[in-house]
Amino acid sequence: MSSPIVLAPEVASALAEGQAVVALESTIIAHGMPYPQNLETALRVEQTVRQAGAVPATCAVVSGKLRAGLSAEELEHFAQKGRSIAKASRRDLGYLVSRGLDGATTVAATMIIAHLADIRCFATGGIGGVHRGAPATFDISADLQELAHTPVAVVCAGAKSILDLGLTLEYLETFGVPVLGYQTDEFPAFYARTSGLQVDYRMDSPEAIARLLRAHWGIGLRSGVVVANPVPEPYALDAKAMEEILAQAIAEAERQHIRGKALTPFLLARIEQLTGGLSLKANIELVCNNARLAAQIARALADEQPRRLENTPEKGAPQRR
């Protein structure tokens, strides 16, 4: 049986040589921002990873193939097609592969592709989590279960602030997922730097994070690790003002009966309108900030790993395109 994952040549070469590689998601391109800001952001995030000394691997499903690393033309395709491309989480991958379709990968699906490709660091905007009202609706993101059993470090600006952050942290704690704060004791709230909630451990350098990751996985633990990196201060929004805006956007979604996969894109778009575009600017800057930190962590991991010999396809190595 052929490998389920196809690597871009640059990604395959970097992994074979033991270089730092950072996985990136594609939902933020197709569903997170309007065109052309989504394409500009995707290219800027990849460039940020390169400038920090790592190789970017934007993940997606392309014509039914799980892919780690997209070409400029493929990034353009996802950006222009936008929400007409399926939003792909764990449950959707088998269907998209079986039908030969495209899919923009969420945090959960990107973690799966990264793990299959042996990429240990992944940068995103914010993870999904427990939605407000979840005790009644059971609306909990698949991202949390993926973090519970897929060994990938996810660098993010906390969880999306539209969520119940307290319950999200409780869920992660229940499933043994460490939540690290990069140069902070407090869990960030996506657009805002503070939430009033504490992280498990504060880490003040990429090297310290890399040491913890090696120890965590080295003793056989199989969960992911959340690395919470606050949005840069010049772009942070006021936490109290954002809570009022969020309440308004959530109320509008409830009146319009918007639920499931459609909820997060609706809320993000409405928040952008209510903040006069400031939330989109913050989103772009925090993603780039996370990409930079993920590259630094990936470099620290790579610096202490022996150079790997490239596997042959007969031994199950990922396909190169």
SS3 content of the chain, % helix, strand, coil (to 5): 50, 15, 30
Under a CB-based contact definition with an 8 Å cutoff, are residues 67 and 59 in contact?
yes
Q: Is there a catalytic annotation at residue 25?
A: yes
For CA atoms 117, 123, 125, 130, the dihedral sign is: positive
- Those residues with Cβ within 8 angstroms of residue 138's Cβ, 6 or more apart along the chain or in another chain: none
Give the residue among 12, 76, 146 at the shortest CA–CA distance from 156: 146
Q: Is there a catalytic annotation at residue 304?
A: no
Under a CB-based contact definition with an 8 Å cutoff, are residues 58 and 70 in contact?
yes
Residue among 25, 146, 272, 285 flagged as catalytic = 25
Task: Give the span between the Cα atoms of 68 and 295, in whole angstroms.
Answer: 16
Q: In the block, which residue shows the tokens 């999200």?
A: 168
**Both structure tokens of 44:** 């800027």
Residue among 87, 160, 272, 285 flagged as catalytic = 160
Under a CB-based contact definition with an 8 Å cutoff, are residues 148 and 223 in contact?
yes
Q: Which residues pair with 225 in a beta bridge?
A: 153
Query: Annotated catalytic sites, by residue?
Result: 25, 160
